[in-house]
Copies of this chain bind each other. A is one copy, B any other.
Amino acid sequence: RTGARLDADTTARLRFLAEADRLKTELRATTLFDGSRRENSAEHSWHLALYALTLAEHAVRPVDTDRVIAMLLIHDLVEIDAGDLPIHTAASDRNAKAADEARAAARLFGLLPRDQGAALHALWTEFEAATSDDAVFAKALDRVQPVMANLATRGGTWLSYNVTRDQLETRVGDKVRRGAPALWDAILPQIDAFFTAT
């Protein structure tokens, strides 16, 4: 576990980890559950990893929890270069964003030793594609956590973006149902209560 090659790898990894630190200053639209401030993408990623650790039983098909966790730990790193795009924004903006994110992924995972960087880059690509069972569940968690924050803050970004009950269903509910239908069913009463009241 020593030698010139491993020394170079250590340096590369520490460089990647120093760069990753910048995700702590990327702010999302969503706030903390206490509404005190906007959430950053690093703590969001930690929270999602905890969601996967505790909610894997609710995945629609069996998942490899450890892979889902790894996916969620790295899924937002591209925002360091490309920024965050709130989910309730126009589709045209979302398409323009994809190229920026692809470049960001190449640069950031490229900081790591080659094989390790390629493996994490592939895991990120899998998350973005959202077709594997692990990715579909990871995406469901990424969508459901802001819902819990909005419910905790009596509306949160639903109010600031004028989100309707129908828009929530197509932009968020469909993806949560796809990966974790039982989870969506569990929170539906709270969602309905909120939108009925507003």
Could you list which residues of chain A lie within 8 angstroms of chain B, going by C-beta atoms? Answer: 1-2, 6-7, 9-11, 13-14, 16-18, 20-25, 32-34, 36, 39-40, 42-43, 45-47, 49-51, 53-55, 57-58, 60, 66, 69-70, 73-74, 112, 116, 120, 145, 148-149, 152, 182-183, 185-187
Contact = CB atoms under 8 A, between A and B. Distances in A.
> Secondary structure at chain A's binding surface: helix, strand, loop or mixed?
helix
Copies in the complex: 2
Contacts of A17: 47, 50-51, 54-55, 145, 148
A34 B7 contact: no
B54 A73 contact: no
Contacts of A70: 53, 69
A32 B43 contact: no
Contacts of A145: 17
Contacts of A185: 2
A17 B1 CA distance: 38
A17 B69 CA distance: 15
11 contacts: A1-B58, A1-B182, A9-B57, A11-B186, A13-B54, A20-B50, A21-B34, A43-B46, A54-B116, A66-B69, A69-B70
